[in-house]
C-alpha cells in the first residue's frame, strides 16, 4: 500500500481520504482548519502541521482546494509544498483550477526534483462514496502511471489527458456543461409548474425521460429539497463557469449557453443564494416566475 499525503479536507477531500484509508493506504493530512480533520484522525489519518510536513512524510501527495489562490498559497511559502518536495516525490492537485496556474507551478516543483500533475475529478462526495469517481490527469506520463494504482483504489477510471494543464482544461470543459444542463431542465420544470402541473409530478416525469443525464439524476431532486450540506455551492460553480468563459474568449470558442447560465447564476447569487448548493437555481427561477 502507498504512503500518501492529502492537503485540503473539505467535503471532497474528506470523502477521498476515507476511500484511501479504506484501501489501507497510509495517509498524512493537513487542512487549514484542523477541526475538520478530527473524524479522519480518529479513523486512522495522521496529522501534519503544514503542507510542507505532509509532502515530507509522503511519497505521493494530493490536494483538493477551492481555487487558484488557495493552490498558490499551499504550494508557496516556507511551509508550502515547494519547501517539502524533493527528488522522487509526486504532487497531484485534484482541484478545479486554471490551467495557467498549473503550468506556472509545475516547473517550480520540477526545479525541486519532484513532479506535479493536475488530476481533477469528475464527481461529488456522493460519487466518491459510491466508488465512482473519475480522474483526468495531465503532466509527466511516467508520473501518472506511478500514481494510477492509487487513483484506482478511489474510483474506476483514470485517464491520461496530456501535458501539464491539459487535464485542467478538460475538467473546465466538463464543468460548464453541468449547470447548463441543470438550468435547462429547471426551466422546463418551471414552465410545467406554472401551467398547473405539480412540481413533484413534473420532476418525476423528467427524471424518467430521455433528457436526463446521471448528473441530473442526483441534482434534479434539489428542486424539491436542497441538501443540508451543499455538494458544491453557487460560489464554486460560478468560479468554474467563469473560467470556462475566459478560456472560450482566449480560444475564440463561442459559449452562448454557458454565458446565459452565468447570468442566471449571478442573479441567484444576488438573491442571497451564494452559499447554497447550485441546485438552488430552481428556487431562483421559481422566484423569478412568481412560483415562490
Can you tell me which residue has the cell 485534484?
A: 94
Which of 52, 89, 112, 171 is catalytic? The answer is 171
Q: Of 283, 278, 273, 247, nearest to 181 (Cα)? A: 278
Compute the C-alpha angle 169/182/173, nearest 5°.
Answer: 10
Compute the C-alpha angle 174/169/187, nearest 5°.
Answer: 30
- Contacts of residue 137, defined as CB under 8 A and 6 or more positions apart, other chains included, come to 92, 117, 118, 119, 144, 147, 148, 151, 158, 159, 160, 161, 167
> For this structure, is 89 an active site residue?
no
Q: What share of the chain is helix, strand, coil (3-state, %, to 5)?
A: 55, 15, 30
Task: Report yes or no: 223 and 186 within 8 Å, Cβ to Cβ.
Answer: yes
Residue positions annotated with a catalytic role: 171
Amino acid at each position: 500500500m502507498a504512503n500518501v499525503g492529502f492537503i485540503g479536507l473539505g467535503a471532497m477531500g474528506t470523502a477521498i481520504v476515507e476511500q484511501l484509508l479504506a484501501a489501507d493506504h497510509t495517509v498524512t493530512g493537513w487542512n487549514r482548519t484542523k477541526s475538520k480533520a478530527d473524524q479522519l484522525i480518529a479513523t486512522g489519518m495522521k496529522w501534519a502541521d503544514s503542507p510542507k510536513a505532509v509532502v515530507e512524510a509522503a511519497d505521493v501527495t494530493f490536494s483538493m482546494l477551492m481555487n487558484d489562490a488557495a493552490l498558490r498559497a499551499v504550494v508557496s511559502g516556507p511551509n508550502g509544498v515547494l519547501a517539502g518536495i524533493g527528488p522522487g516525490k509526486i504532487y497531484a492537485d485534484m482541484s478545479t483550477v486554471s490551467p495557467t496556474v498549473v503550468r506556472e507551478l509545475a516547473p517550480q516543483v520540477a526545479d525541486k526534483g519532484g513532479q506535479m500533475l493536475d488530476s481533477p475529478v469528475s464527481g461529488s462526495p456522493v460519487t466518491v462514496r459510491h466508488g465512482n469517481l473519475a480522474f483526468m490527469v495531465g503532466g509527466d506520463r511516467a508520473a501518472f502511471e506511478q500514481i494510477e494504482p492509487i487513483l484506482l483504489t478511489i474510483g474506476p477510471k483514470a485517464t491520461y489527458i496530456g501535458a501539464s494543464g491539459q487535464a485542467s482544461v478538460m475538467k473546465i470543459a466538463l464543468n460548464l456543461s453541468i449547470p447548463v444542463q441543470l438550468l435547462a431542465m429547471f426551466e422546463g420544470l418551471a414552465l410545467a409548474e406554472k401551467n398547473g402541473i405539480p412540481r413533484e409530478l413534473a420532476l418525476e416525469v423528467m427524471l424518467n425521460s430521455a433528457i436526463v443525464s446521471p448528473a441530473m439524476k442526483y441534482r434534479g431532486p434539489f428542486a424539491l429539497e436542497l441538501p443540508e450540506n451543499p455538494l458544491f455551492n453557487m460560489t464554486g460553480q460560478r468560479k468554474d463557469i467563469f473560467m470556462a468563459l475566459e478560456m472560450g474568449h482566449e480560444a475564440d470558442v463561442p459559449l452562448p449557453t454557458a454565458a446565459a447560465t452565468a447570468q442566471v447564476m449571478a442573479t441567484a447569487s444576488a438573491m442571497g443564494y451564494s452559499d447554497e448548493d447550485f441546485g438552488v437555481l430552481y428556487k431562483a427561477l421559481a422566484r423569478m416566475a412568481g412560483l415562490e
